[in-house]
Amino acid sequence: MQPQLFTSSLGRLIGASLLACSLVTLSACSKNEDTARQKQIEEPPTSTEGAAGTADQPEKSAPMADKGAPESGVDYHSFANTSDYVVKHLDLDLTADFDNKVLKGEAILDIKRLTQKNPELILDTRDINVTAVRAGMGDNLQPVKFTMGETDPHLGTPLKIKLPKGANRVAIQYQTSPGASGVQWLEPQQTAGKKHPFLFTQAQAIHARSFIPLQDTPQVRMTYKATIRTPEELRAVMSANNDPEAELDGVFEFEMPQAIPSYLIAIGIGNLDFKAMGERTGVYAEPELLEAAAKEFEDTEDMLEVTEENFGPYRWDRYDLLILPPSFPFGGMENPRLSFITPTVIAGDKSLVALIAHELAHSWSGNLITNASWRDLWLNEGFTTYLTNRIMQFVYGDERYQMEMALGYDDLKADLDDRDDKDEIMAIDLRGRDPDEVFSNIPYEKGSLFLYELEQKVGRENFDKFLMEYFNHFAFQSITTEDFVKYLDQTLLKQYPDKLDRERIQEWIFNPGIPEGAPQPTSDAFTKLDPIREQWLNGEIKASDIDTKGWTFHQWKYFLDGMPEKLSEDQLKELDSAFDLTQSKNNEIAFSWLMIAVRNDYEPANARLEDFLVSIGRNKFLRPLYRNMVENGKTDEAKRIFEKAKSGYHPLTVKVNSKIIYGD
């Protein structure tokens, strides 16, 4: 572990331009105002200090050997020397070679030089084969020398490019590897139509570097243009200006005029059709899923409108959804203008559409205001989870709102039960760690609960006004936790000194657990189920006597998740035969039930468990199920199913679950 830590720290040191900064005079360094974030951060109005995460920081981060606290604004997960250069625009030309499972082509980066000196340009890559690099000014690009640095197991390999003096453009010819961590190549068998292959990328957190050599850090924002070449029968879409009318001729052109961080660059290729849901919203999906998806998500346009009304304009033009095959490792991903969505939420009754509200909400929190490093992820996910609940209330009413909030709170408590203290801190220390492996509910639900407390204290109307101004103030910028706290200082804390205090804010963000006296969301629709569950457990009533007519998905989930650790074989059989849980078509309910089945050795659910694990790649389900199997003495069975399913899993799914199953 130690040597590994050292390598990534070293990479990080280079990435933060520690070395570059120690070579030039400090004043030159601190005068350099156009570093990645300083360029993008407009100082809050009354602040006297510079924004964090800039060229004058390395001084503070010098004692890396004894670790200390992570430095605000430093991206420990990128090699890029963003104090020397920042990428402003990307021109991508890629061919998707489905036979060899590689993306092949060229990335041209327009760079802005921030120093007087002429250091190497350091980019992030992972398993990319770079074949040639040219650099120069404008269209006059000449071949230049480049080297691949030492590979770090978490961060990939730095690509170091010698630039001619004055160069403002670099063209990199390259090819991805078939196992690229951010790309999944699907066989026709893994799609809904079973006839055509499919490709999708998933760049967050640090996987853009596996399909584009670039500055893979959320502190740098760029516009992009892309040409994507595909087999003729397929359609390509991106996190850009998609044209549903684009001819299927094997060449697709895209433009993304709003500057975005690298983790929001995304490509999808498949047998895709389009259906409009509203004026600004629509769905891309395989024809087999298109109608069902458009129906399930028909409220998307309403969600967009209420969010705009309450939190400020939608700044991305269109909002479309891309429905992916079930191997997609997440529920959804907020790629700008085109959220990527798992098909496993098409339940037929809109019960799982909070996912759409969530990905849409990222158009404000995350895509408009972006976390400056992965330590600040809670700024993306906590705000988004808070907004999700609000959107659900606007569109579906108070009862749904209460239930969504209460389920989120229960998720948080469950996570707090089995996590180390240090990982319960919102501004989490990720140094030397792979962000994929530290993923939890903390940034989501603790972040959201914190904002809910602020709302409760200052009143909803005042808090909404604050949020609207916040989104406007930091629009199209990347900010740190400290930037946010500073902004709070200047706004809510100043306006409501009798209601809020800085200490409490610090406690929420920098201490483990939930601060005492925090709100505890509950729902009447849930609490009325407690005595029913209790009566059934005590044998006072039969499962078939419970009147479940009209129960929502949320109530089912609450009812099942509240079951004790151990149930008897008879109890399991009774529940299953009364409610047909093993065959539930709602994947969330099936998941809750399978968790119970695994920990109680309920054999009749084994076939469904296997089918579920093989056919769905969403890690929110797979990780707990595999972990549960391992913890309940079913490691061999977990291995057997994992080996069977593996070839269909996304690289990320393989990585995180093989850790659970094989412990490596």
Q: How far apart are CA 453 and CA 393, in angstroms?
A: 17
Least separation in angstroms between CB 202 and Zn ion: 13
Tell me the residue type at 389. N
Residue 71 or 334 having the CB closest to Zn ion: 334
> 575 to 634, contacts with ligand BES by CB under 6 A?
620
Q: How far apart are CA 568 and CA 602, in angstroms?
A: 9
State which of residues 96, 321, 333, 575 lies at the interface with ligand BES (CB under 6 A): 333
Cα dist. 181→155, 160, 188, 208 in Å? 11, 21, 20, 9
Contacts of 20 (CB under 8 A, 6+ apart): 81, 83, 84, 115, 117, 119
Least separation in angstroms between CB 334 and ligand BES: 5
Binding mask 228-267 for ligand BES (x = CB under 6 A): ----------------------------------------
Q: For 350, left (φ over 0), alpha (ψ -120 to 50), or beta?
A: left
Candidates 117-125, 130-138, 175-183, 327-335; binding stretch for ligand BES (CB under 6 A): 327-335
Under DSSP, is residue 502 helix (H, G, I), strand (E, B) or coil?
helix
Per rule CB under 6 A, is residue 218 in the interface with ligand BES? no
Per rule CB under 6 A, is residue 358 in the interface with ligand BES? yes
For residue 93, give the nearest of 104, 82, 80 by alpha carbon.
Answer: 104
Per rule CB under 6 A, is residue 474 in the interface with ligand BES? no
Residue 234 or 387 having the CB closest to Zn ion: 387
Least separation in angstroms between CB 657 and ligand BES: 15
Least separation in angstroms between CB 661 and Zn ion: 26
For residue 277, give the nearest of 206, 339, 202 by alpha carbon.
Answer: 339
Q: Please state whether beta strands 157-161 and 169-175 pair in parallel, antiparallel, or not at all (unpaired).
A: unpaired
Residue 58 or 447 having the CB closest to ligand BES: 447
Polymer length in residues for the chain? 664
Cα dist. 564→29, 408, 633 in Å? 59, 19, 19
The DSSP letter of residue 32 is -
Least separation in angstroms between CB 358 and Zn ion: 6
Total chain residues near ligand BES (CB under 6 A): 15
Per rule CB under 6 A, is residue 205 in the interface with ligand BES? yes
Per rule CB under 6 A, is residue 160 in the interface with ligand BES? no
Q: How far apart are CA 652 and CA 643, in angstroms?
A: 15
Candidates 141-149, 355-363, 462-470, 477-485; binding stretch for ligand BES (CB under 6 A): 355-363
Per rule CB under 6 A, is residue 88 in the interface with ligand BES? no
Contacts of 164 (CB under 8 A, 6+ apart): 135, 136, 142, 144
> 183 to 202, contacts with Zn ion by CB under 5 A?
none
Q: Give the residue numbers marked as catalytic.
A: 359, 444
Q: How far apart are CA 512 and CA 607, in angstroms?
A: 40
Under DSSP, is residue 198 helix (H, G, I), strand (E, B) or coil?
strand
Least separation in angstroms between CB 340 and Zn ion: 12
- Residue number of the CB atom closest to ligand BES: 331
Note whether 179 and 651 are within 8 A (CB).
Answer: yes
Residue 146 or 444 having the CB closest to Zn ion: 444
Binding mask 369-388 for ligand BES (x = CB under 6 A): ------------x-------
Q: Which two tokens stand for residue 264?
A: 């929001």
Least separation in angstroms between CB 330 and ligand BES: 3
> 324 to 383, contacts with Zn ion by CB under 5 A?
381
Candidates 166-174, 350-358, 596-604, 623-631; binding stretch for ligand BES (CB under 6 A): 350-358
State which of residues 58, 70, 282, 332 lies at the interface with ligand BES (CB under 6 A): 332
Binding site for ligand BES (CB under 6 A): 204-205, 330-334, 354-355, 358-359, 362, 381, 444, 620
